[in-house]
Amino acid sequence: MNYNLNDISEQQPKTSTMGALKKLLNLITEERRNMLGALLAIFINSGLNLLAPFIVGHVIDTYVVHKDFNGVMVWAGILLGMYLVAFVASYLQTRMMGGVGQRMLFKLRNTVFNKLQELPVGFFNQNKAGDLISRVNNDTDKINQFFSQSLMQFIGTITTMVGAGIFLLIINFKLGVATLLPGLLIFIFTKFSSPWIKKRNALSMQRTGGLSAEIQESLQNFKVIIAFNRRDYFKNRFEEANNKNYTSAIAAGIANNVFIPVYGFFAAVAQLVVLTFGIYLISTGQFSIGLLVSYLAYAVNFYNPLRQLAALWANFQVAMAGWDRISYILNLESDLPVLSSETIEKPSDAIMEFRNVSFGYDEGKEILHNINFKLEQGKTYALVGPTGGGKTTTASLIARLYDPVKGEVLLENRDIRTYEASERSKKIGFILQEPFLFSGTVRENILYSNEAYAGFSNEQLEATIKAAGLQSLLNIFEKGLDTEVNSGDSISIGQKQLIAFMRAVLRSPALLILDEATANIDTITEQILQDILNKLPATTTRVIIAHRLNTIQNADEIFFVNAGEVIRAGSFDHAVNMLLHGERQS
């Protein structure tokens, strides 16, 4: 299945602005009360600000012209009160929406991260971690900025514009139509330019994600860069990614600011229309000076918000571009669904069985072809073969990191696809050649996803480790369970493998896969691990992938994996001959 987000963004039909906004609002349905309160505050603020110009015009025509300063002072006090109420309403709206934005950001990041955890290994193989980090951090923050800072301003601006337009038409319909005509031209311009602006912002975000991925890859492989003295190579790659990001950011910036001069020009045209037509109406006795002042104020209230709307609309397009990038993730479905359990027509006495299994990472390119074999309970199996022959792929199918393209994999006489992930992981342990550990302590990493010992004290856990024969491994760590583990060099790769080994063994899996699990461990420690494996319950099935021949010589059965086939190798000597012959051919 194609999980490449860049490919999906090109293939998937674009969501309409209203459709995207509706989906986004569904994430904050529990904030309905706060949003309604903020809307009420906006309507109060906009209503009072819209009423003020009409009162000013009335005061000019009724009191200023007749030099009635008592009336002017009374209405000035009323206007002051109105502005104070509008100020309080604006403050309350800002405070409420700030909280809504932060809570939405918290929920959105959780939603995206939880979705990522539902997706299979294939998704992470096709997408760079840096780009995913950018989507979780940067893109969600763009949406938060719009909701917390711009959304209510956007609604307030629209409310003010609509109200001002209504007053313009009520006071003088012909002059109102002439004043609003440039606004229609602005609407047409906005309608046709918005998709272009959104596309520029989406490209800018994509390039930002690419830059983040490049930085992460360079930092992760810094030792290799130093060892091969290839700072120039990664410097050039970074400069290329940075230049692309710079170019797309400039293009997005130009697109986001294109509205401001256009809106400003049409606003100036509208004010010129008001002055010219208004003075003509005054000269013919159809208009008063107070009404002209009010009219100019309403024209400003209509077109000045348009300038704000230009910036807000650009922010909205940025947020929608970010939402598109996030929604691509949220709309993905795992290609490893849990199926309903069905009775197997031909039951097997094996703990694991491959029936006519074929698999390929890319469509039309198979790595394994029509594989059939059984793993019996309590036995030790070895997978040998040349590099790239398909050993790790076979182990990945055993652990259901992938599903076969054809055929079926049975675990304890059930299709492995019918097991929930939690149930399957309890039955199958997997120790990788390059184990992943979390920052924390040895204890936290050993107990990762092991609820059976979650509440144990250090003393209880140490007793459990000793009973499992793992005490000698724990003694290697200076501070025992409290030894710090981080992403740096606090512990060696070999020590990380030991922690992964303890983590897997303590789960007491029915089937344990060791993929080059002793590759970074000295021979003495390797012998200790072998002794521990020998002490596992008699019912535990072991699958060992190794290049060191001494690690597989005690296996009950050896499979030779090469050229898409899994063949029983027979004796240890026969397996060695097959391995040597296969390596010469490869």
Q: Where are the alpha helices (DSSP H) in 135-230?
A: 140-145, 151-171, 173-220, 222-227
Please state which CATH class domain 352-585 belongs to.
alpha beta
Q: Which residues of the chain have pLDDT under 50?
A: 583-586
From the list 525, 558, 568, the residue with the least C-alpha distance to 380 is 558
Q: Alpha-carbon distance 333 to 546, whole Å? A: 34
Residues 12-63 pLDDT 10s: 555 555 666 666 666 667 777 777 887 788 888 888 888 888 788 778 877 7
Q: What is the pLDDT of residue 452?
A: 81
What 485-490 contacts at long range (C-beta under 8 Å, 24+ apart), as own/partner pairs, is 485/437, 485/438, 485/439, 485/440, 485/441, 485/442, 485/444, 485/445, 486/439, 487/439
3-state secondary structure 193-216: HHHHHHHHHHHHHHHHHHHHHHHH
Q: What is the pLDDT of residue 586?
A: 42
> Strand, helix or coil at 67?
coil
Q: What is the pLDDT of residue 374?
A: 92
Residues 282-296 pLDDT 10s: 777 777 777 777 777
> What architecture does CATH give domain 20-330?
Up-down Bundle (1.20)
N- to C-terminal Cα separation, the chain: 29
Q: What is the pLDDT of residue 520?
A: 66
Q: What does the domain layout of the chain look like in residue ranges?
A: 20-330, 352-585
CB 362 within 8 A of CB 560: no
From the list 565, 538, 571, the residue with the least C-alpha distance to 552 is 571
Please tell me the pTM assigned to this model.
Answer: 0.64
Report CA torsion sign: 320, 326, 329, 332.
negative
Q: Alpha-carbon distance 469 to 502, whole Å? A: 10
